[in-house]
């Protein structure tokens, strides 16, 4: 059973760059509805929207424990991935699985694009792909494997040497890289807010409405701090927090990441950052830094990940991590060492022991999708929409792709869980070198 204090947040995130938004009121009193979706990140929003389309005469109750945009979907680095990078090297035997994952990614990207276009969501949407880069021995080896994978899958890409990367990005750190044009950069909190503000009329969104307990039965019962809900079907889009509701408790952990954003750069400062007006860099080392030049002329860098009990960093912790952001930033952009960081944030990603995702029925009339291991914007959107269809008795090839995720590996209870989770996250940084 969860308690209200389990769902903490702070004001350190992408939402801080936006105008204040009036949220939807918390749920109160008793309710009886056919459908409840818990979690208003990209998965829950996609699920609620699709349920509303499939059941136009039903009320869909969408419950968010925090304010929209303050969960994991609004706290990532803003990469909506179409082409996944598989970090264990290219394997010919995995081509079918690579294709399956990329179909899920691509479908989610198209669903998001449709909503951004239909509702004119101002989220700095830039569909120009990403740079996958290498700065040290381990990532340089991975770059070779990544190119093999792209070639075998016939995915459009452009290999680049260090000089070409410097010309485009304004940094000499990277020795090799690949530009993959299929992918979108965006402002994550703005995207999530825009999706939430344009839900179908039969979706009732309530923020600051944490579900504390699920009582199984027919109908299902949901206990909130100031409300009770009876429902026929329940969709959990709670990502790494599913365990708080006694679902998949031994299969999911949360890794806490942190990053910083500079102030807005001047025209002269922008001029020393290469030929492009905005770009995004994903390291080919699993523990390497994620770097962006945003469309509103800020540099963003994220280069820490740790096991912190699946919660955000404290103010003091964030200050300490920002010193690591600074070192990484100055190594890449010594010409901008005078530029201060204006914002810092942390966010929690859901990860599984073997890097798999979760999709499907968990108990009688309870369905769950989540845990995307860092690729949640596009993949989570597909999983949400498909879970709505699956719970409604629909069938499709995309639902089949979602159901085909590998079984998750079990994790031991605490304190062994803490030890194992700490080691799992730390392994990401093995040999990271100049990529951090």
Q: Which pLDDT belongs to residue 407?
A: 75
Tens digit of pLDDT for each residue in 303-361?
Answer: 998 888 889 999 999 999 999 999 999 999 999 999 999 999 999 988 877 778 889 99
Six-digit token string for 419: 């030890």
Q: What is the DSSP letter of 193?
A: H
Work out the average pLDDT over 274-301: 95
- Cβ atoms of 388 and 50 closer than 8 Å: yes
Q: What is the pTM of this model?
A: 0.94
Tens digit of pLDDT for each residue in 190-239?
Answer: 999 999 999 999 999 999 999 999 999 999 999 999 999 999 999 999 98
CA 282 to chain centre: 14
> With bands split at pLDDT 50, 70 and 90, how would you rate the model's confidence at 248?
confident
- Nearby residues of 408 by Cβ (< 8 Å), 6 or more positions away: 248, 251, 252, 352, 353, 354, 356, 358, 371
Q: What's the CATH fold of domain 130-181+254-351+427-435?
A: D-Amino Acid Oxidase; Chain A, domain 2 (3.30.9)
* Better-predicted residue by pLDDT, 429 or 403: 403
Ramachandran region, residue 170 (left: φ > 0; alpha: ψ -120 to 50; beta: rest) = left
> With bands split at pLDDT 50, 70 and 90, how would you rate the model's confidence at 416?
low
- Measured on CA atoms in the order 277, 73, 263, 285, is the torsion positive or negative? negative
Q: What's the CATH fold of domain 4-74+190-252+354-405?
A: FAD/NAD(P)-binding domain (3.50.50)
> With bands split at pLDDT 50, 70 and 90, how would you rate the model's confidence at 413?
low
Q: Considering only CA atoms, which of 238, 94, 289, 109 is closest in space to residue 183?
A: 109
Q: Which pLDDT belongs to residue 117?
A: 98
- Cβ atoms of 194 and 119 closer than 8 Å: yes
- Cβ atoms of 176 and 160 closer than 8 Å: yes
Helix (H) / strand (E) containing 279:
strand 279-283
Q: Which pLDDT belongs to residue 429?
A: 60
- Cβ atoms of 303 and 290 closer than 8 Å: yes
Residue with tokens 């929003």: 45
Report helix, strand or coil for 1: coil
User: Is the previous residue joined to 219 through a cis bond, with omega within 30 degrees of 0?
Assistant: yes
Q: Which pLDDT belongs to residue 378?
A: 96
> With bands split at pLDDT 50, 70 and 90, how would you rate the model's confidence at 422?
low
Residue 431 has pLDDT above 70, yes or no: no
Residue 393 has pLDDT above 80, yes or no: yes
- Nearby residues of 370 by Cβ (< 8 Å), 6 or more positions away: 39, 43, 236, 237, 238, 239, 240, 242, 252, 350, 357, 358, 380, 383
Tens digit of pLDDT for each residue in 37-76?
Answer: 999 999 999 999 999 999 999 999 999 999 999 999 999 9
User: Is the previous residue joined to 154 through a cis bond, with omega within 30 degrees of 0?
Assistant: no
- Mean pLDDT value across the chain: 92
Q: Which pLDDT belongs to residue 347?
A: 92
Q: Which pLDDT belongs to residue 249?
A: 72
Query: Residue 301 — φ and ψ, nearest 5°?
Result: -140, 135
Domain ranges of the chain: 4-74+190-252+354-405, 130-181+254-351+427-435
Residue 426 has pLDDT above 90, yes or no: no
- Nearby residues of 288 by Cβ (< 8 Å), 6 or more positions away: 133, 135, 139, 303, 432, 435, 436
Q: DSSP of 343-381, one letter per residue?
A: EEEEEEEEE-TTS--EEEEEETTEEEEE--TT-HHHHHH
Q: Which pLDDT belongs to residue 409?
A: 74
Task: Please tell me if the domain spanning 4-74+190-252+354-405 has the same topology as the one spanning 130-181+254-351+427-435.
Answer: no
Tens digit of pLDDT for each residue in 141-195?
Answer: 999 999 999 999 999 999 999 999 999 999 999 999 999 999 999 999 999 999 9
């Amino acid at each position: 059973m969860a308690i209200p204090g389990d769902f903490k947040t702070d004001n350190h995130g992408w939402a801080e760059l936006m105008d204040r938004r009036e949220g939807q009121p918390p749920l109160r009193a008793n309710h009886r509805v056919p459908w409840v979706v818990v979690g208003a990140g990209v998965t829950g929003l996609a699920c609620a929207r699709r349920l509303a389309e499939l059941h136009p005469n039903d009320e869909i109750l969408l419950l968010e424990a925090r304010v929209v945009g303050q969960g994991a979907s609004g706290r990532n680095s803003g990469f909506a991935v179409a082409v996944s990078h598989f970090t264990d090297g290219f394997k010919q035997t995995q081509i079918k699985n690579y294709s399956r994952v990329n179909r899920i990614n691509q479908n989610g990207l198209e669903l998001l694009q449709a909503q951004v276009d239909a509702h004119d969501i101002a989220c700095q949407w830039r569909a120009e792909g990403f740079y996958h880069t290498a700065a040290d021995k381990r990532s340089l080896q991975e770059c070779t494997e990544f190119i093999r994978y792209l070639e075998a899958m016939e995915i459009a890409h452009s290999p680049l040497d260090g000089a070409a990367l410097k010309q485009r990005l304004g940094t000499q750190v990277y020795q090799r890289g690949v530009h993959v044009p299929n992918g979108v950069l965006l402002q994550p909190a703005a995207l999530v807010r825009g999706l939430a503000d344009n839900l179908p009329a039969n979706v009732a969104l309530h923020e600051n409405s944490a579900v504390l307990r699920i009582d199984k039965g027919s109908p299902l019962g949901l206990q909130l701090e100031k409300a009770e809900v009876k429902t026929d079907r329940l969709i959990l889009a709670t990502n790494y927090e599913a365990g708080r509701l006694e679902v998949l408790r031994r299969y999911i952990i949360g890794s806490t990441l942190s990053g910083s954003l500079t102030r807005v750069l001047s025209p002269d400062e922008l001029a020393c950052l290469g030929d492009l007006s905005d770009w995004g860099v994903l390291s080919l080392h699993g523990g390497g830094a994620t770097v962006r030049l945003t469309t509103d002329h800020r540099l963003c860098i994220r280069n820490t990940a740790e096991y912190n009990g699946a919660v955000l960093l404290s103010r003091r912790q964030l200050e300490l991590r920002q010193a690591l952001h600074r070192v990484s930033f100055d190594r890449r952009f010594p010409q901008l060492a005078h530029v201060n960081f204006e914002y810092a944030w942390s966010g929690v990603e859901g990860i599984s022991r073997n890097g798999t995702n979760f999709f499907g029925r968990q108990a009688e009339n309870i369905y769950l999708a989540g845990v995307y291991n860092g690729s949640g914007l596009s993949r989570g959107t597909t999983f949400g929409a498909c879970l709505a269809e699956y719970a409604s008795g629909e069938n499709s090839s995309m639902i089949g792709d979602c159901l085909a995720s590998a079984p998750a590996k079990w994790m031991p209870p605490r304190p062994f869980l803490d030890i194992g989770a700490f080691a799992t996250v730390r392994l990401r940084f093995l040999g990271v070198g100049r990529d951090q």
